[in-house]
Amino acid sequence: MLRSLPKLSPLLSSARTTNIPRFLANSLRFVSSAQTITRTKTSTGRIAMTTRAPIRPMSSSTVSSITAEDHVQQPKLLKSTDDDHDGVIVEMDQPMDAATFVLILRSSISHWKQLGKKGVWIKLPIHLASLVEPLVKEGFWYHHAEPKYLMLVYWIPETANTIPVNATHRVGIGAFVMNEKREVLVVQENSGHFRGSGVWKFPTGVVDQEEDICVAAVREVKEETGVSNLVALPIKSFLYFPSEYLISRQSHKSFFDKSDLFFVCMMRPLSSDIQKQRLEIEASRWMPFEEYSAQPFVQKHDLLKYISDVCSAKIDGRYSGYSAVSTSSSFSDQKYYLYLNAGALKSSL
């Protein structure tokens, strides 16, 4: 083998590499380029060959990449937004297994605690209902539920919890609709409290979310009787408005322990055709106001009698009621309404 060493040098030339297998040629090129071959003669007369790889300085980019890899990976956190009261809001969307979610949740709460956050709101859509149990086990509790999501909350600091409770009131409406013949629109219900009582009453209902009170009154009248094209008198006049100084109706533990506010809105119909709703309404008709007021049920109950008396005063021009005055606020671009006695206010000014 030692005798063949002198013959290696021709093999390293580009002209001769085509005559040997490709893998051998590549290996020889690697040896010649990456190593320095040193021949030394030993005391016995034999030739010893050693190789030494060249030492190259490590680039700064290589150092930085290795350093970054050596760093401890930061824990994942839940994506959140700040609320106006030193809390955070998390809107979950992507599926996640319970074990992974708990680890990320604990890291997030620790992070929020360091930032001085207080309340945590986590909004879970229906398709992530499997995360409810892990959240409850971590100390979260139900706040409210809607058709498409469930809201859970958590209080971080060891102080009194100041997270506001869920909505406490439900808003109901009654529609006092009178035509030019001094007749009022009344219905008999085939479901609910007045079912089978024979009592004729105003169309009533519940205000939907993001719905103005008078809009709700118009909707309920149309749904129950088919009467549409209603005009508020004069400008969304209310016969009752909750106030300690006025006749009003506010009750508690009315609907799943919620309090109830009730408004009566007076309107004039532009058409008198009735098409009653068969699901909830047994009968509907136009009734002379005096006949409505004379019902024993109305005269027996103070609440209904007060409403009847106020309606009568409104018809005769002895009661002005309240009007919804559109206004604005620097807190939001949304419309706001103040319900007040605009005529009395104008006179006082």
Per residue in 129-183, pLDDT (tens digit) is 999 999 999 999 999 999 999 999 999 999 999 999 998 888 888 888 988 899 9
Greatest mean pLDDT range, 66-70, 181-185, 253-257, 303-307: 181-185
Q: What is the pLDDT, as a whole number, of residue 42?
A: 52
Give percent of the chain with pLDDT exceeding 70.
72
Query: CA-to-CA distance for 14 and 281, rounded, in angstroms?
Result: 101
> CB neighbours of 104 closer than 8 A, spacing ≥ 6?
75, 76, 77, 78, 96
- Per-domain residue ranges of the chain: 80-155, 169-346
Q: Is there a common fold for 80-155 and 169-346?
A: no
Q: Is the pLDDT of residue 252 over 50?
A: yes
Interatomic CA distance for residues 104 and 118, integer angstroms? 18
Q: Inform me whether the pLDDT recorded for 14 exceeds 50.
A: no
CATH 3.40.630.30 at 80-155, yes or no: yes
User: What is the pLDDT, as a whole number, of residue 142?
Assistant: 97
Active-site positions?
223
pLDDT tens track for 287-319:
999 999 999 999 998 888 888 888 888 888 787
Between residues 37 and 123, the one the model is more confident about: 123
Confidence of residue 45 (pLDDT cuts 50, 70, 90): low
Q: Which fold has domain 169-346?
A: Nucleoside Triphosphate Pyrophosphohydrolase (3.90.79)
Confidence of residue 263 (pLDDT cuts 50, 70, 90): confident
pLDDT grade for 58, boundaries at 50, 70 and 90: very low
Model's pTM, two decimal places? 0.64
| 189-193, 198-202, 243-247, 303-307: least confidently modelled range | 243-247
- pLDDT for the residue numbered 159: 95
240-255 average pLDDT score: 52
Q: Which of 32-41, 72-81, 144-153 has the lowest mean pLDDT?
A: 32-41
